[in-house]
Amino acid sequence: MATAAEYESMITSLQWDGLRTLWDNIENRNTPGWEPGKAFEYLVLRAFQLDGAAVRWPYRVNLFGEEVEQIDGVVHCSGLSCLVESKDFADRKPVNIDPIAKLRNQLLRRPAGTVGLVFSRTGFTNPALILSCFSIPQAILLWNGEDIKYALDNENISEILVLKYRAYIEDVQPDYNVRERYIP
């Protein structure tokens, strides 16, 4: 099993073409050298980094001498600060409410305005979508595999984050379809 530093070294050696290849490998469940789910987790953060965002790689949070959280990453771009949760299920099941509820609780320990981003290669259940709509005052934006592929193909994940955030603010659409690209 690789260390966090080794994963970071592996992913930062990739540019956009390498990320697209890694995405195809993730889709085909062929990621030698990566623990299950780790390639996906690091791919998301690297895409933001390549698009000019500041990122913090996965880390653990300790309070009062106890580990209380494992964070998949943090992204700072376009005036937004976001906690990242990434889910890549091998059985292709959509993500249910558990990661959204977990992220909502993590956001409660952060300053107002911190945004939650949940990335799922396999999409989300209706209960997950409903919970993300009613997580106010915490904003939780949902990213499915098509959103991620679109961002990788267009090399603009930071711009897409702003579009998703705007759609959430204006129309309470936490899962805004970025391929529509229509925001009045």
pLDDT in tens, 33-89: 999 999 999 999 999 999 999 999 999 999 899 999 999 999 999 999 999 999 998
pLDDT at 184: 53
Contact 155, 52 (CB under 8 A): no
Q: Three-state DSSP class for 62?
A: strand
pTM of the model: 0.94
Please state, in angstroms and rounded to a whole number, the distance separating the CA atoms of residues 97 and 125: 8
Delimit the domains of the chain by residue range.
Answer: 51-171
* 51-171 CATH, one of 3.40.50.800, 3.40.50.2000, 3.30.70.580, 3.40.1350.10: 3.40.1350.10
pLDDT at 91: 79
pLDDT at 161: 96
Q: Three-state DSSP class for 67?
A: strand
